């Protein structure tokens, strides 16, 4: 076993060697521009993009023409909200989202508020789940889009996406979901889940960084949005710019592998997750963040009372973990997700996210569990307040 043990798969994943192998020829040999239609180099690139588009579509139950390639989910999220806001503003100027969304959604919504759009931020319960009855009451004839993350990047809670989509469909509002942490890890079907727009990032499931996609429903209903990048006719004129053929090839291959291996990976990761969860929650001063069952197979998030989180991180220097999402790790503020689910500020500021993946081994998980439990016990004993009663789960 090599140290440190990597337990931050929700931040990013290593590129699968099979993905890299498929990408390599497109760096130096098949380096053509997919828009160059007059010679072999362009044709090869165009064909590679077509194959990748089908692989992405197959993984999520879509059709290839509804896949728009982007640089990743942050861009896809921006395109979705800004594009729909501009295109559907005559219908209404109301947007609905959730307090536990990624900053790529929340900050885009704040920007749209500055432009005069009204945004409703729905609260969640103690496990991070949205109240679908409240959602149904909130969506009106002026609501143009609802954006709710499929699986939370910090606490792993999986939302009732199909029901959310059904409500949106019945109310005449479009439904966008940030599926960054879900695609490639759990089954996703855009038709069964009533999804109109969906954001995807390759690097969350063993593809390259800087490659992603946006699913845009082309029928029943047909979604149209104002283009946000000008300068070319690429991607049906929805997103200008030379296609990142190498990254797109990698995304496509990552989707193909995920489709083949997802069931086995889910089973293996759930066993790892539950084994670690049982051992860590046996500690008196530890609480689980997120739904105990409706969560990503590979995600755990714990808060520790009476523990200096910096001391804990320092003690666990041989474990690569996160104190929150990668995009906010430099912030000194407690996680907005943890405060949104009702964790006190002190408890929210003393949390660890552990996530594992394709290359995690049982030996690594057992080692990490033993190291974490031992460190928490030692720091608890050294705490001036000693160990207090275990925090109650928030219902």
Catalytic amino acids?
327
| Residues 320, 332: Cα–Cα separation, whole Å | 19
| Rounded Cα distance, 5 and 320, in Å | 6
Residue 222, Cβ neighbours under 10 Å: how many? 10
Among candidate residues 259, 265, 290, the one with its CA nearest the CA of residue 57: 259
Q: Which residues contact residue 81 at a Cβ distance below 8 angstroms, ignoring those fewer than 6 apart?
A: 95, 105, 108, 109, 112, 145, 147, 176
Report CA-CA distances (Å) from 9 to 102, 185, 259, 279, 362: 17, 11, 18, 21, 15
Is residue 292 a contact partner of residue 334, using CB atoms and an 8 Å limit?
no
Q: Rounded CA gap, 304 and 388, in Å? A: 10
Sheet arrangement for strand 299-304: 286-288, 299-304, 351-355
* CA-angle at 226, arms to 192 and 178, nearest 5°: 40
DSSP E strands in the chain: the ranges are 5-6, 67-70, 94-98, 118-122, 143-147, 174-178, 197-201, 212-216, 286-288, 299-304, 319-320, 351-355
Does residue 301 contact residue 76 with C-beta atoms inside 8 Å? no
Q: Which residues contact 379 (CB under 8 A, 6 or more apart)?
A: 307, 308, 311, 312, 315
* Rounded distance between C-alpha atoms, residue 221 and residue 213, angstroms: 20
Q: 3-state class of 296 per DSSP?
A: coil
* Residues in contact with 131: Cβ distance below 8 Å, sequence separation at least 6, in sequence order: 122, 123, 124, 125
* Structure tokens given for 148: 């709710």
Tell me which residue has tokens 């974490």. 372
Classified as helix, coil or strand, 78 is helix
């Amino acid at each position: 076993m090599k140290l440190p043990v990597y337990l931050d798969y929700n931040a990013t994943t290593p590129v699968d060697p099979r993905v890299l192998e498929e990408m390599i020829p497109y760096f130096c040999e098949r380096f053509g521009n997919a828009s160059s239609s007059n010679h072999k180099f362009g044709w090869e690139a165009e064909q590679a993009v077509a194959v990748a588009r089908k692989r992405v579509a197959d993984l999520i139950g879509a059709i290839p023409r509804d896949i728009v390639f982007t640089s990743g989910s942050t861009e896809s999220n921006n395109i979705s909200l800004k594009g729909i806001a501009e295109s559907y503003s005559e219908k209404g100027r109301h947007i609905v989202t959730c307090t536990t969304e990624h900053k790529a959604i929340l900050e885009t919504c704040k920007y749209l508020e500055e432009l005069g759009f009204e945004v409703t931020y729905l609260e969640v319960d103690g496990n991070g789940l949205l109240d679908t009855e409240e959602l149904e009451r909130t969506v009106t004839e002026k609501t143009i889009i609802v954006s709710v993350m499929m699986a939370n990047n910090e606490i792993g809670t999986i939302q009732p996406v199909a029901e959310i989509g059904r409500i949106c469909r019945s109310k005449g509002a479009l439904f966008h979901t940030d599926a960054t942490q879900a695609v490639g890890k759990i089954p996703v079907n855009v038709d069964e889940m009533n999804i109109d727009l969906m954001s995807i990032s390759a690097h969350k499931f063993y593809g390259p960084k800087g490659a992603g996609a946006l699913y845009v429903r082309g029928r029943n209903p047909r979604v149209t949005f104002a283009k946000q990048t000008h300068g070319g006719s690429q991607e049906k004129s929805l997103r200008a710019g030379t296609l990142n053929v190498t990254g797109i090839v990698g995304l496509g291959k990552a989707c193909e592998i995920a489709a083949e291996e997802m069931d086995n990976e889910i089973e293996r990761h759930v066993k790892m997750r539950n084994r670690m969860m049982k051992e860590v929650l046996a500690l008196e001063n530890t609480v689980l963040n997120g739904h105990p069952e409706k969560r990503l197979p590979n995600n755990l998030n714990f808060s520790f009372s009476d523990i200096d989180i910096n001391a804990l991180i320092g003690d666990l220097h041989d474990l690569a973990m996160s104190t929150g999402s990668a995009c906010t790790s430099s912030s000194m503020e407690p996680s907005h997700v943890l405060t949104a689910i009702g964790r006190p500020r002190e408890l929210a500021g003393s949390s660890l996210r552990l996530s594992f993946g394709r290359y995690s081994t049982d030996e690594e998980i057992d080692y990490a569990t033993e190291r974490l439990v031992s460190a928490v016990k030692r720091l608890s004993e050294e705490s001036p307040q000693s160990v207090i009663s275990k925090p109650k789960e928030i219902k």
